[in-house]
Structure 1
Amino acid sequence: MNRTILIADDEKNIRNGLQLALEDEGYSILLASDGKEAWNLITENNVDMLITDLRMPHMSGQELLKRVSSNYPTMPVVILTGHGTIEAAVEAMRNGAVDFMTKPLNLDRLFLLIRRAFSNLDLHDQNAALKKELAELKRQSGYSKIIGKSEPMVRLMETVKQVADATASVLVTGESGVGKELVADALHQLSSRSNGPFIKVSCASFAETLLEDELFGHERGAFSGATAARKGRFELANGGTLFLDEIGEISQGTQVKLLRVLQERQFERLGGEKTLTVDVRLVAATNRDLRAEVDAGRFREDLYYRLNVIHMEVPPLRERKEDIPLLMSHFLEMYNERNKRQVEGFSQRAKAAMLSYDWPGNIRELGNCVESAVVLASEKIIDLDDLPGAVKNASSEERVVIPVGTTMEQAEKALILATIASCGGNKSKAADILGVARKTLHRKVQEYKLGEQ
């Protein structure tokens, strides 16, 4: 992307010298001899960055900075100053400048500063585009809690919409943390039962007798301590949806009673004789292979077929990595709000690591990772060091191993060679990564005769 930089300085030699140097780096340059002319150019052109002296006629650099910060808050501003006005330059940074440089200028430092500023600007633009894409995706899907544009997730949501209004039982399978409960919730919310109750039960949370009481309720006196009748989850879900999570954990005895409810829509409370009839849509979920459980004799085959009328497999996050940036944006917004933070996004290094990691804990782990980074981040941008160790270590960045005893010249040569190789021979990109000017890198390549290797 070609960036435009405005140079505002009343010294002609500085303006022209910077113009030649920056045009040689590939930037488009606009020139102004005072603050007023600079402001006019900003309002009439697409300016990406301002480099301005503090002391100029007609409008000072301080006044120009105030106008830019107020009207163009994302535009980076670099202040040029003489040694006698460093205090004023520091004050300018408090007013929104990204950095200041003293004259005479160190061009390599200026080029690095410009690259960093544009890198942050690129991140801001990318995060804003992701946020916009996320909002549009939520609007189009009709259900904002499931996020994904990958082919597996698009197919899954199409199936959810297709079967949401049916009464047939649904079995949702997938690894822990993939969002099986959200699929059950989507089935309910997109159905004509959405005004009815959505009742959830984690089957692994209860012992056998307690689970039966939880599902079917009990009559007064059914057991010691049953001082009053109590409705079970099936009764509470009447007219709505009952979600049974971790269905593979239930005992054989409970399986028999659950089978009867699915077949006849009828049951009795514990200790009761009255047969109750309910209208409930059942959605079950498991991270186990229920077919294997049937073959092993631990799960009833007839119940398996009753549950598995419609089967939905939620893919693990490692199989839909193109959804990770959207999920990162979603969680960033969520946890900024919850923790009263204003983190703006993720650095390229952090994104690379998060895309490289396989997320064995799936979306749940990703959400926890983003929340941790939001809370612990010391800057506005989450960087690689803000991520948990397991994620950070998954970074796909190549490493150069330099043994002890290597000379500085040999180390520099090895680093330059490895960086150019990782960039596919693109020396401009390599210069950006190494934080040096293109001319400097080309000079080093010629000096070390690296082009001959």
Structure 2
Amino acid sequence: MSTGNTVWIVDDDRSIRWVLEKALNQSGIETQTFDNGESLVRKLGTEYPDAIISDIRMPGMDGLELLGKINDSHPGMPVIITTAHSDLDSAVASYQGGAFEYLPKPFDIDEAVAMTERALVHASELQAQSEASAVVEEPSGEVGSTEIIGEAPAMQEVFRAIGRLSHSNITVLINGESGTGKELVAQALHKHSPRAKEKFIALNMAAIPKELMESELFGHEKGAFTGATALREGRFEQADGGTLFLDEIGDMPADTQTRLLRVLADGEFYRVGGHIPIKVDVRIIAATHQDLEALVTDGRFREDLFHRLNVIRIHIPSLRDRREDVPKLMQFFFNKASEELDSECKVLTKESEEYLCQLDWPGNVRQLENTCRWITVMASGREIHLEDLPPELLNQQPIEGEATGVSGDWQENLRRWADQELSLGKKKILDTAVPIFEKLMIETALKHTHGRKRDAAVLLGWGRNTLTRKMNELGMNGSGEEDED
């Protein structure tokens, strides 16, 4: 039987089990650890916890199979899935399998503790209300691979959103700069939805002449206008039962906005020149690179339509906000270009990769893909050096280095120091270097935030509790100001 505050941890990585166990115990949570799913399932036969934290990829029974068995035997028990493979398919599969939360590695231990505490509260509420959560059925048909690549935290949030919406037909508004991959996200939302077997129809508002917009959306009757020699179904009819993706919705003309609002409200419309109402069942996903709120304020977009579309919003980060994804994206696009052009796959030198990661990429992922295709065609050798890059990229100034007045000397100095220490036969040099590095980073962040710990933690990419714990460990208790709650 559970004590009401017990969490089981299953992970084949001993260090992960130890870190989670220690952190949860310090927070007053009882734990029990397992190194494989089979042993946990056997234990479930005689007792059970209040929540479970499970890795997704383990030898033998993996986390998703374990999740299914837990849902079968203990429906409603919150399970947090952790994984070092932070891709879209893992996130979606976790949520579709009934996971309470999805936690990509490496994770902030304070975030893991807070997530576990939420899971325990959830379990307590279910028990108090005597509710049993229904087992979540996966949609029929296998979920294939996706071309959305991203390990950056901002992309993980996108994956989480797609996973949470995988059982819903709710309207979604996607916003992000041009070239960030908004249509790919829309396709993923459709692919991982109850409408996955139905049609996905896309229409770019910016690519359609104003006078043809209503005909494209709603179709037209024969003779409705000059050139209408036959009845034509519009995109709404084509998408009936499926998903209609309206890209660049901010470019939709005002009169078409009015007609769209009526369709969203009533679920029916008239073809151009028609007099018979046509009912459709269509999920709407809209996207824009514009600030729709500003368009509403300026009177160029209907406020009521904005609220109809803005039920759930997903923001796609720009490439400059997820630079850590550039190497994997480039490798993917090099592989893709190699297959399409039947040529050898290019490989970046370390110097070239570091340079490309520092660029702003105003055209985002689309620009990156085009760059990879250019390199595949124009570069003569397999290994890509700086001189092999497109000339326009070499004319850009990286965000780091001379552009910011920060040199790379500190990295070279650190390398020389490490070499010297190891040459002297010293060991555990990280135990010496890391505390000094962390103390310098914390002091600098506190300087920039005038001593405010909460803001300093944000700059460092930590939770506030992590910063406080680090400062205690480093003997910095007198530094910084306590934030007011």
Higher relative contact order (CA 8 A, sep 6+): 1
Offset of 1:164 from its aligned partner? 3.2
After superposition, the C-alpha distances for 1:328-358 in whole angstroms (9 at most, x for unaligned) are 1111110111111113410011101111101
* 2:253 matches 1:251: yes
Residue pair 1:239, 1:280 contacting (<8 A) in 2 also:
yes
The 5-angstrom pairing of residues 296-375 of structure 1 reads 296-375=298-377
- Please give the alpha-carbon distance, in whole angstroms, between the structure 2 residues aligned to 1:310 and 1:151: 19
Residue from 367, 377, 380 that aligns with 1:378: 380
Residue from 273, 277, 281 that aligns with 1:275: 277
The 5-angstrom pairing of residues 36-55 of structure 1 reads none
Partner of residue 234, structure 2: 232
Residue from 147, 150, 154 that aligns with 1:152: 154
Partner of residue 424, structure 1: 413
- Over the aligned positions, Cα root-mean-square deviation in angstroms equals 2.6
Offset of 1:202 from its aligned partner? 0.7
Residue pair 1:353, 1:394 contacting (<8 A) in 2 also:
no
Residue pair 2:86, 2:151 contacting (<8 A) in 1 also:
no
Give, as a single letter, the amino acid of the residue that structure 2 aligns with 1:310. Answer: I
Residue from 140, 145, 150 that aligns with 2:90: 140
Partner of residue 171, structure 1: 173
- Please give the alpha-carbon distance, in whole angstroms, between the structure 1 residues aligned to 2:246 and 2:259: 14
Give, as a single letter, the amino acid of the residue that structure 1 aligns with 2:247. Answer: D
- Please give the alpha-carbon distance, in whole angstroms, between the structure 2 residues aligned to 1:303 and 1:136: 35
Residue pair 1:246, 1:284 contacting (<8 A) in 2 also:
yes
SS of alignment partner, residue 287 of structure 2: strand
SS of alignment partner, residue 379 of structure 1: coil
Give, as a single letter, the amino acid of the residue that structure 1 aligns with 2:283. Answer: R
Partner of residue 120, structure 2: none
Identity of aligned residues (%): 42
Residue from 263, 268, 277 that aligns with 1:266: 268
Partner of residue 30, structure 1: none
Partner of residue 206, structure 1: 208
Give, as a single letter, the amino acid of the residue that structure 2 aligns with 1:424. Answer: N
Residue pair 1:216, 1:234 contacting (<8 A) in 2 also:
yes
Residue pair 1:420, 1:427 contacting (<8 A) in 2 also:
no
After superposition, the C-alpha distances for 1:263-310 in whole angstroms (9 at most, x for unaligned) are 111000000010000010000100000000000001000000001111
Offset of 1:394 from its aligned partner? 3.6
Offset of 1:206 from its aligned partner? 1.5
- Please give the alpha-carbon distance, in whole angstroms, between the structure 1 residues aligned to 2:399 and 2:418: 17
Residue pair 1:218, 1:230 contacting (<8 A) in 2 also:
yes
Offset of 1:194 from its aligned partner? 1.0
The 5-angstrom pairing of residues 214-229 of structure 1 reads 214-229=216-231
- Please give the alpha-carbon distance, in whole angstroms, between the structure 2 residues aligned to 1:263 and 1:272: 19
- Please give the alpha-carbon distance, in whole angstroms, between the structure 1 residues aligned to 2:340 and 2:417: 41
- Please give the alpha-carbon distance, in whole angstroms, between the structure 1 residues aligned to 2:397 and 2:150: 23
After superposition, the C-alpha distances for 1:409-450 in whole angstroms (9 at most, x for unaligned) are xxxxxxxxx9977612645999xxxxxxxxxxxxxxxxxxxx
Structure 1 residues 169 and 136, CA gap change in structure 2 (3 angstroms): closer
SS of alignment partner, residue 294 of structure 2: helix
In the alignment, structure 1 segments of 5+ residues that lack a partner are 1-132, 400-417, 431-453
Residue from 159, 180, 183 that aligns with 2:182: 180
Partner of residue 130, structure 2: none
Offset of 1:134 from its aligned partner? 12
Q: Structure 2 length normalisation: TM-score?
A: 0.54
- Please give the alpha-carbon distance, in whole angstroms, between the structure 2 residues aligned to 1:266 and 1:419: 62
Partner of residue 196, structure 1: 198
Give, as a single letter, the amino acid of the residue that structure 1 aligns with 2:90. Answer: Q
After superposition, the C-alpha distances for 1:384-431 in whole angstroms (9 at most, x for unaligned) are 1121234334457968xxxxxxxxxxxxxxxxxx9977612645999x
Give, as a single letter, the amino acid of the residue that structure 2 aligns with 1:232. Answer: G
Give, as a single letter, the amino acid of the residue that structure 1 aligns with 2:413. Answer: G
Structure 1 residues 162 and 347, CA gap change in structure 2 (3 angstroms): same
Q: Structure 1 length normalisation: TM-score?
A: 0.58
Structure 1 residues 134 and 178, CA gap change in structure 2 (3 angstroms): farther
Residue pair 2:146, 2:188 contacting (<8 A) in 1 also:
no
In the alignment, structure 2 segments of 5+ residues that lack a partner are 1-82, 92-142, 420-485
- Please give the alpha-carbon distance, in whole angstroms, between the structure 2 residues aligned to 1:390 and 1:313: 29
After superposition, the C-alpha distances for 1:353-375 in whole angstroms (9 at most, x for unaligned) are 11110111000001011111111
Structure 1 residues 380 and 428, CA gap change in structure 2 (3 angstroms): farther
Residue pair 1:241, 1:282 contacting (<8 A) in 2 also:
yes
> Matched residue pairs, number?
281
Partner of residue 287, structure 2: 285
- Please give the alpha-carbon distance, in whole angstroms, between the structure 2 residues aligned to 1:342 and 1:250: 43
Residue pair 1:217, 1:231 contacting (<8 A) in 2 also:
yes
- Please give the alpha-carbon distance, in whole angstroms, between the structure 2 residues aligned to 1:191 and 1:419: 47
Give, as a single letter, the amino acid of the residue that structure 1 aligns with 2:200. Answer: F
Give, as a single letter, the amino acid of the residue that structure 2 aligns with 1:194. Answer: A
Give, as a single letter, the amino acid of the residue that structure 1 aligns with 2:303. Answer: E
Partner of residue 241, structure 1: 243
Give, as a single letter, the amino acid of the residue that structure 2 aligns with 1:168. Answer: I
Offset of 1:207 from its aligned partner? 2.1
